[in-house]
């Protein structure tokens, strides 16, 4: 049985990926410092899979602890590195926190990977590296634009750090550039649990419908899109989780063509904010309280993935619809709020 280290494995995307890894027969070790997650997520994973992953509560910023961890846990076959801070606005206010948490942790992990000959490394990147695209859908060859936030910059720098490492070591790596993950596991055992006021659209929608927020603000309807609201590529988190299992197998089976590969992970479909709201109202059979307000500074007008590379080379395709994802997000919100 292959042993996989999942950092940030109790977080939103990490927890769904741990489920898919265990369902696929991998042995999983999770590192998480619980800075943006709770131990209840571990219970959810165990309930879904019937398997208890090893869990190490550890802060990856602590180099000595990271080193100790790798001395204790030997024979790791691969690493999926989710652990990071991810709030764009917070990164503007506190850039050093983001550079430390997203870059130091990566460097320590890569150093240990090198020392212990762990040569398979999957990294959580983001479509944020593309900035405002020149053309749509966006391919992996599109230029990486000057980052508009320290968070986005950490993803760009991380990709460069990994590429440089792969060039001079035995390491093989895949960076998955996620588009907009939404939804929850159909079991409602795990899902997205933002701390404080949600910054992202779908958790804000579900919290508004659950009466935790009074009203959803739609940030601008004067964009150059069909209905004037911004367009994104919303991908079901379970589809995204499955992409990690496929990418991991590609590395473990030496099917990668380059030491460092990049894949877009999206649906290939763009949906506007109004389309998301309308779909949510339809699947939940209720009307949402929203109003149009000014644009949010820094928002990109439209971005959605060209998924041909992931489809053809990785052999991965999203399967679930946005309606599935919205229904699961609502089911999860209702469970959490005991509605």
Task: Provide the annotated active-site residues.
Answer: 151
CB of 41 to ligand NAD, least distance (A): 8
Which residues sit at the interface with ligand WQD, rule CB under 6 A? Answer: 86, 88, 126, 128, 180, 199-201, 204, 216-219, 230, 232, 273, 296, 299
Residue with tokens 């603000």: 217
Cβ distance to ligand NAD smaller for residue 83 or 142:
83
Q: Which does 217 bind (CB under 5 to 8 A by kind): ligand NAD, ligand WQD, none?
A: ligand WQD
The first and second tokens of residue 9, run together, are 């494995």
- Stretch binding ligand NAD (CB under 6 A), from 76-84, 106-114, 207-215, 312-320: 76-84
166 counts as binding ligand NAD under rule CB under 6 A:
no
Q: Which does 296 bind (CB under 5 to 8 A by kind): ligand WQD, ligand NAD, none?
A: ligand WQD
Nearer to ligand WQD, 13 or 171 (CB): 13
- Return d(Cα 225, Cα 152) in angstroms, integer: 24
H-run or E-run covering 93? helix 88-93
Of 30, 60, 310, 314, the residue at the interface with ligand NAD (CB under 6 A) is: 60
The CA distance from 291 to 220, in Å, is 10
Q: Which does 62 bind (CB under 5 to 8 A by kind): ligand NAD, ligand WQD, none?
A: none
Report the Cα 223 to chain-centroid distance in Å: 26
User: Per CB under 6 A, which of residues 12..31 are in contact with ligand NAD?
Assistant: 12-14, 31
Closest contact distance (angstroms) between CB of 265 and ligand WQD is: 12
| CB closer to ligand WQD out of 109 and 201 | 201
Q: Quickly count helices (H) and strands (E) in the chain.
A: 12, 13
Site string for ligand NAD, 89-118 (x = CB under 6 A): ------------x---x-------------
Least distance from ligand NAD to the Cβ atom of residue 3, Å: 19
Contacts of 47 (CB under 8 A, 6+ apart): 187, 189
Number of neighbours of residue 333 by Cβ within 10 angstroms: 25
Q: Cα separation of 295 and 142, whole Å?
A: 25
- Single residue of 120, 124, 173, 272 touching ligand NAD by CB under 6 A: 124
Rounded Cα distance, 238 and 20, in Å: 8
Distance CA 339, CA 108 (A): 43
**How many CA atoms does the CB half-sphere of 270 hold within 13 Å?**
18
Q: Which residues, 6 or more positions from 87, have their beta carbon under 8 angstroms from its beta carbon?
A: 151, 199
On the CB side of 55, CA atoms within 13 Å amount to: 22
Q: Which of 55, 171, 89 is nearest to 123 (CA)?
A: 171
Size of site (CB under 6 A) for ligand NAD: 27
Q: Which stretch binds ligand NAD (CB under 6 A): 8-16, 141-149, 161-169, 211-219?
A: 8-16
Look up residue 106 and give its two tokens: 């990566």
Cβ proximity to ligand WQD, 9 vs 131, nearer residue? 131
Whose Cβ is closer to ligand NAD: residue 70's or residue 178's?
178
Would you call 132 exposed, middle or buried from its count of C-beta atoms within 10 A (0-12, 13-18, 19+)? exposed
Residues 6+ apart with CB under 8 A from 34: 10, 57
Site for ligand NAD in 266-285 (CB under 6 A): none
- Which of ligand NAD, ligand WQD, none is residue 37 near (CB under 5 to 8 Å by kind)? ligand NAD
Q: Which is nearer to ligand NAD, 148 or 292 (CB)?
A: 148
Report the interface residues with ligand NAD, using CB under 6 A.
8, 10-14, 31-37, 59-61, 82-84, 86, 101, 105, 124, 126, 178, 180-181
């Amino acid at each position: 049985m292959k042993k996989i280290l999942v950092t940030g494995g109790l977080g939103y995307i990490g927890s769904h990926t741990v489920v898919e890894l265990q369902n696929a027969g991998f042995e999983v070790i999770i590192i998480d410092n619980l800075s943006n997650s709770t131990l209840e997520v571990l219970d959810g994973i165990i309930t879904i899979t019937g398997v208890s992953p090893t869990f190490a509560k550890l802060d990856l910023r602590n180099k000595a602890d990271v080193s100790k961890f790798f001395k204790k846990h030997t024979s790791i076959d691969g690493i999926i590195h989710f652990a990071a801070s991810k709030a764009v606005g917070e990164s503007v206010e506190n850039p050093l926190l983001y550079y430390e948490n997203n870059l130091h942790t990566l460097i320590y992990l890569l150093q240990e990977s090198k020392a212990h000959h762990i040569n398979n490394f999957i990294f959580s990147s983001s479509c944020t590296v593309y900035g405002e695209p020149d053309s749509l859908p966006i391919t992996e060859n599109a230029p990486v634009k000057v980052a508009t936030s320290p968070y986005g910059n950490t993803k760009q720098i991380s990709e460069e750090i990994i590429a440089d490492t792969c060039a001079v070591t035995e390491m093989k790596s895949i960076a998955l550039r996620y588009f907009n993950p939404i939804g929850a596991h159909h079991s409602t055992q795990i899902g997205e649990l933002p701390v404080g006021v949600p910054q992202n659209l779908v958790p804000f929608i579900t919290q508004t419908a659950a009466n935790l927020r009074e009203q959803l603000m739609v940030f601008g309807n004067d964009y150059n899109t069909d209905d004037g609201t911004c367009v994104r590529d919303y991908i079901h988190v379970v589809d995204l989780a499955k992409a990690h299992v496929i990418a991991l197998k590609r590395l473990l089976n030496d099917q990668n063509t380059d030491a460092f590969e990049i894949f877009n992970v999206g649906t290939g479909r763009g949906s506007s904010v109004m389309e998301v709201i309308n779909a949510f109202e339809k699947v939940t059979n209720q009307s949402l309280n929203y109003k149009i307000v000014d644009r949010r500074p820094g928002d990109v007008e439209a971005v959605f993935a060209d998924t041909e590379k992931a489809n053809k080379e990785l052999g991965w395709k999203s399967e679930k619809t946005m309606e599935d994802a919205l229904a699961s997000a609502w089911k999860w919100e209702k469970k959490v709020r005991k509605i």
